[in-house]
Chains A and B, each alone.
Chain A
Amino acid sequence: MSRHVELDEDRAVTAEQITDSMRRRLGDGLLDSRPAGPTRLYLTVDPAKIVDAADELFNGLGARFVISAGTDERENRGGFRVSHFFSFDDEDLYVALHALVPEDDPRIDSITPIIPGANWAEREIQDLLGVTAEGHPDPRRLVLPDDWPADVYPLRCDFDTRDRPASAEGMAPPMKNRPEGAVMVPVGPYFPTQHEPEAFAVFVEGEVVVDSDYRGFYNHRGIEKLGCADLTYNQIPFIAERICGICGFVHSCAYCMAVENAAGIEVPRRAQYIRTIFLELERLHSHLLWTGVAAHIIGFDTLFMQTWRMREPVMWLCEQLTGNRKTYGMNIVGGVRRDLPADAHEKIEKVIADVEREWSALTDAVPGDRTLIARLEDVGTLTPDQVRQTCCLGPTARGSGVAIDLRIDHPYAAYGELEMEKCVEDGCDTLARTLVRLAETPVAIDIIRQCLAKMPDGEIQATIDEEIPPGLEGIGAVEAPRGESFHWVLTGENNRPKRWRVRAPSYQNLQAIGPMIHGDVLADVPIDIGSIDPCYSCTDRMTVIDRRSGQMRVMTREEILDRR
C-alpha cells in the first residue's frame, strides 16, 4: 500500500508510459507491446524476465494483480502461454503479461514471492497445465482431486473432456502441519452456517486462532475446459451463468463482454441498459441474501427471515422479465435476447419502491442493535495493506478503505452514463464490510431508476455477420456483488474460444481468510468467513481428526459407507 500511495503525484499512467518503463526495466526482455484500444494493453515478455516484469507492474507502477491463466499453445506456437493480468484501477486500464514457455521445459519463475495474491493462480496453472512455478512458497496441489495422477494435466489440448483417470484410495489432502501446541478445529466440509461445503482447518491455542488452512475445489467442474473444447461462443453464456448460484448474470455478462472486446463488437445502447438493470437487480437480491445469511450465522434469524422475504419479490420480478428467477439467460454475444416488456417500467418501479421502503425501515432498526454490533465490530480485521497483498475485491476491499469499484473504475455496460458513488468504509472489520453492503443496496435501486429514466429505444442485438477470427484476445470484467468477476477470452478456430479464463471474486477473497481470522476467537470464525460472502465449489468427503495425535486423515468412500 505504501508504494501505491507514493505514486499519487505522478498518477495517470498511460499505456505508453507502462511500455516505456517496462522497456527500461527489461531491455530486450520485452518482446511485444500491443495496446488494444485505450483500456487494454497486451505485453509479451521473455519468460526469464517474468518476475521483473510483474514486480515493475505491481510494486513499481502500483497495479493490482488480477489473475493468471495458462494456455496450451503447443500446436500453433510450440509451448505453453502463461499470462498474468494486472489492473490499473485509477486509469481504467487492464494489462496482460504473456510469456511463452517451451514445451520441453515447462517451468516459469513464480511471482508469488512478490505478489502473495498470485498464490492460488499459479498453483492452478501448475495443477491443470503442468507448468511448474519455480520458487513458489507453497506449491501444494490446489485444484485437482487428491487421487488425480501426477502427470495428467486436464487443461492440455490432448486431454479429452471425456477422459476419466482411475481413482485411487487412501489419498489425503496435503494440509499444513499443526503448529506446536495448537489444536486443529475443522470448519467444514459441511458446516451448518456455511451454505456451501468448504474445508477450513483452523489451528487454535485456547480460543485464539493462530493459523489456518483451506482445501476447496473439491467439485471443480472443469467449465473452462468445456468452454475451450466443446462449446461454441453462444453456448458458453448459459454455462457461465451457472458458475454462481446467486450472481450468475455477472459471469455471462463478463464473458460476453470479453468476446465483444476481442472481436470489436459494438453492443447496442439499449442492450447495455438492459444488462445494467439486471446486474443491479442481481446486486439487490444478492445483498439482501447476504444480509440474511450473515444474520443467520450470528444467530439473528429474525433478520434472516425478513431480508429473504424482502428478496423474494425481486426474484419474481426477474422471472416475469426474463423467464427465470435466477438464470436469466438474457446475455448473448452482441447484446441481450429478450427486450423488456412494455409494462416493465411500472413493474420494476413497484418492486424496487417496496424494497426501498422496507429496506429503510430495516436499516433504521438494525444498526442500533448493540448485540449485532458487538458481534461484528473489530472482528475479522483486514488492513488495507493485506487487501493489497492478497488482491481482495468488492465489499471486502471497500470495507478496508480500498476503493475498488469497477462500475466507476472500469465503466462497462451503461455505467459510464450513470451517476453513482463508491461505498467505502474504513473500519477494516466485519462491521465495515456489512455497512458497505447495507449502503450499496439503495445505490443499486438508484441506478435501476436512472437506467429506467435514460433507457433509449432501439436494437437489442448487434448483427454479427462474420465469424470471429482466431488469435484475438479480450477482457471482460464486471463488478459482481462480491467483487470483480474477470473473464479473459482467446479466440480460436471453428467458432470456439481457444481459451476462456474465469476468475470469480471469491477466488481472491478466500485467500484473505487466513490473515482475517488470525488472532480472532474461534466463535467469530464463521462470521469472518461469511463476511466475504464466499462462493465455494462442492465437496464430497469427510475429515477425521485423531484427538490424541492431532493427525488429520480423510476417510475414503468405502469407510464412510461401512460406518452407515
Chain B
Amino acid sequence: MLIAMNVLETLWTKIKQALICLRPGRVTLPYPFAPHDPEEGFRGLPRLNVDKCIGCGGCANVCPARLIRIVDKDQTTRVLVFLYERCTFCGRCAEVCPEGAIEMSREYELSTDDVHDDMIGEYHIFMGPCERCGRCYRPPSVLDKLQQPGFRSDCIDRKCPPEGCRIVLDEDTDDRAEAPTQTASR
C-alpha cells in the first residue's frame, strides 16, 4: 500500500514537472546565427573620442586591469594604447574621464578569426603648442595636477594666457588632417 502511494506520488510529481517544462516552450536563442543585442545600459568595449581627449591619463591611472598605456611619441603627440584583450569592461575609465571622452560602447563580440588582429586600440592625441597660434594648450587643466611619471612636464609647465586656445581645431577642418588622428587596428 505504502509502495503504491509512493509510486503514485512520484508519478504525480513527474506530471507536474512535465507541465513546468511544456509551459515555456522553446527558450533557446538562435545566437550566434542571429544577433543578440545587449540590454540597455550595457558596458561594452570602451571607445575613446580623440576630439575630446586632453591626454590627462586619468583613465590609465584608475584602470584595474591596467590596459591603457600612455606613450609620448614626440613633442606634440601623445599616444594612448588600449590593450583591449585585457579589458574587463568595468567602465572606470569612462567614469573618471573629466572630458567625457571615453564611452562604453555596446560592442562585446571580441573574438576574431584573424591571427593578426592584436586587439589594440591606438589613439593619437595632439598635445602641446598649438600649431595655429603657437601658444600652448590651456592651463590650469587636469594635467597640472598630475605629477606622476609618464607625463610630459614640458607642456604642463609652460605658461599660457587665461583665454588660452584649446588646441582641438574644430573650426578649421583643413588643419585637422595633421592634428588629432585616430588609428585603431580594430
Interface residues of A (CB under 8 A from B): 231-232, 234-239, 242, 302-303, 305-306, 309, 312, 316, 319-324, 327, 329, 337, 341, 358, 361-362, 364-366, 368-371
Contacts and interface: CB of A to CB of B under 8 A. Distances in A.
B180 to A, nearest CB: 28
B13 A366 contact: yes
B41 A242 contact: no
Given A306-B21, A324-B89, 12 more contacts: A237-B64, A306-B17, A319-B38, A319-B42, A327-B90, A329-B89, A358-B20, A365-B13, A365-B16, A366-B17, A368-B13, A370-B6
B87 to A, nearest CB: 11
A238 B64 contact: yes
Contacts of B6: 370
Interface in B127-156: none
B59 to A, nearest CB: 12
Interface string B90-103: 11100100000000
Contacts of A369: 10, 13-14, 17
A238 B16 contact: no
A239 B64 contact: yes
Contact of B90 (A312, A320, A329): A329
B64 A235 contact: yes
Max count, chain A CB within 10 A of own CB: residue among B14, B19, B27, B43:
B43
B104 A323 contact: yes
A364 B16 contact: yes
Contacts of B64: 231, 235-239
B35 to A, nearest CB: 16
B158 to A, nearest CB: 29
27 contacts: A232-B62, A238-B88, A242-B88, A306-B20, A316-B39, A319-B38, A319-B39, A320-B40, A320-B41, A322-B41, A323-B42, A323-B89, A324-B42, A324-B43, A324-B89, A329-B89, A329-B90, A329-B91, A337-B91, A341-B41, A358-B20, A361-B20, A365-B16, A368-B9, A368-B10, A369-B13, A369-B14
Nearest to B63: A235
A302 B16 CA distance: 12
A235 B65 CA distance: 8
A312 B10 CA distance: 28
A361 B91 contact: no
Contact of A309 (B12, B16, B24): B24
